[in-house]
């Protein structure tokens, strides 16, 4: 077993190697507090193209650029409205991504060719160390979507990344992600902030921080910029996922009886199945705890051979917005 000193030395060595790979135009897997990212130098369009190829992601679907500090935002943003600055001050480093007007000629491929660009400053200590090391080598930002095949479950451990994208990818192992679902995305290209993707920050928290009412896309004028993770179908396990209330779940299990095979159930309610082959997993009553384990649980159901995944629909409470968003998109697949 490694001593703490040996572990710290190995981590520092691995971070230095990852930063060097980014500078050389290679891809690197790395942890954030939300999910693991697949990173490339945001200003190297050829390197960014490798992300799209590795994920099978359409090249017009933009990536989020990860920064070592808020001070770097001006390198990528043509302008930063006052409410965006307030949000940066309140939540960076943390699980919030901001869509801002893009400085011309910068991070064109990462932005999917749009006039806007997504920026985030992650809170994970290993991510921050990597971004600082990369910055010292001339990499001013790291473009990074989740390190998985496009539209599939996001990875929350280093092993998930290796299983998904192959052992040849260099991956920094920072343990299991603390948040577990992707960052909240706020569009800051208009007069008022627009929530494009919910996360573990509530609308109320965002409004308190910036002092402006947060709009939803359907309430804002004009088309929203394209943003990561906002397609109707996304975050999908291999099995078919269905959302039901607790009563419908129990009724379905009762109807199938001993034939409830190749079925996994993830619910807050205590349910019964007459089939020993049914995979039953208790969902936490707390939204943050559910978010932290959500993708790992769904991935484990796939690994155990489930063909159907039945999930109890989350409560209609603001704390559950991020979890509900991910499950609804997974069910749409």
pLDDT less than 50: residues of the chain: none
Residues 246 and 174 in one domain: no
Residues 28 and 165 in one domain: yes
Q: What is the pLDDT of residue 3?
A: 57
Residues 268 and 209 in one domain: no
Q: By three-state DSSP, how is residue 190 classified? A: coil
CATH number (domain holding residue 267)? 3.40.50
Q: By three-state DSSP, how is residue 115 classified? A: coil
Q: What is the pLDDT of residue 302?
A: 97
CATH number (domain holding residue 191)? 3.90.870.10
Tally Cβ neighbours within 10 Å of residue 181.
28
Assigned domain for 59 exists: yes
Inter-residue long-range contacts of 256-261, CB under 8 Å, 24+ positions, other chains counted: none
Residues 202 and 249 in one domain: no
Assigned domain for 309 exists: yes
The answer to whether the CB of 63 falls within 8 A of the CB of 51 is: yes
In angstroms, rounded to a whole number, what is the distance separating the alpha carbons of residues 209 and 215?
15
Residues 249 and 200 in one domain: no
In angstroms, rounded to a whole number, what is the distance separating the alpha carbons of residues 69 and 59?
27
Residues 147 and 246 in one domain: no
For 273, the domain range is 240-332
The answer to whether the CB of 241 falls within 8 A of the CB of 211 is: no
Quick: pLDDT tens for 155-191. 999 999 999 999 999 999 999 999 999 999 999 999 9
Residues 147 and 276 in one domain: no
Quick: pLDDT tens for 94-125. 999 999 999 999 999 999 999 999 999 999 99
Residues 253 and 315 in one domain: yes
Its pTM stands at 0.94
Q: Beta strands 170-171 and 240-244: pairing type?
A: unpaired
Residues 167 and 86 in one domain: yes
In angstroms, rounded to a whole number, what is the distance separating the alpha carbons of residues 251 and 201?
35
Assigned domain for 163 exists: yes
Number of domains in the chain: 2
Q: What does DSSP assign to residue 227?
A: -
């Amino acid at each position: 077993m490694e001593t703490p000193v040996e572990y710290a030395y190995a981590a520092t060595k691995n971070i230095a190697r990852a930063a060097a790979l980014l500078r050389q135009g290679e891809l690197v897997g790395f942890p954030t507090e939300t999910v693991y990212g697949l990173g490339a130098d945001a200003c190297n369009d050829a390197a960014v193209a490798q992300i799209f190829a590795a994920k099978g992601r359409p090249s017009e679907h933009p990536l989020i650029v990860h920064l070592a500090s808020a001070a770097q935002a001006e390198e990528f943003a043509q302008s930063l409205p006052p409410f965006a600055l307030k949000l940066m001050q309140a939540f960076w480093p943390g699980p919030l991504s901001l869509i801002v007007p893009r400085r011309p000629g910068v991070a064109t491929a990462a932005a999917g060719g749009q006039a806007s660009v997504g920026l985030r400053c992650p809170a994970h200590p290993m991510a921050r160390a990597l971004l600082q090391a990369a910055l010292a080598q001339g990499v001013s930002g790291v473009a990074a979507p989740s390190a998985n095949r496009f539209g599939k479950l996001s990875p929350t451990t280093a092993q998930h990344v290796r299983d998904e994208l192959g052992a040849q990818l260099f991956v920094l192992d920072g343990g299991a992600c603390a948040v577990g679902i992707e960052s909240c995305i706020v569009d800051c290209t208009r007069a008022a902030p627009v929530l494009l993707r919910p996360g573990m920050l509530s609308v109320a928290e965002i409004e308190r921080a910036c002092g402006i009412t947060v709009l939803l896309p359907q309430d804002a004028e004009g088309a929203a910029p394209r943003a990561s993770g906002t397609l109707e179908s996304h975050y999908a396990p291999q099995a078919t996922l269905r959302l039901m209330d607790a009563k419908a779940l129990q009724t379905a299990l009762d109807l199938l009886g001993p034939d409830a095979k190749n079925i996994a159930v993830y619910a807050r309610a205590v349910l019964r199945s007459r089939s020993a082959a049914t995979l039953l997993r208790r969902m936490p009553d707390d939204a943050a705890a559910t978010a932290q384990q959500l993708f790992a649980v769904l991935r484990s159901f796939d690994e155990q051979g489930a063909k159907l995944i039945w999930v109890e629909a989350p409560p209609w409470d603001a704390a559950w917005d991020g979890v509900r968003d991910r499950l609804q998109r997974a069910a749409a697949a």
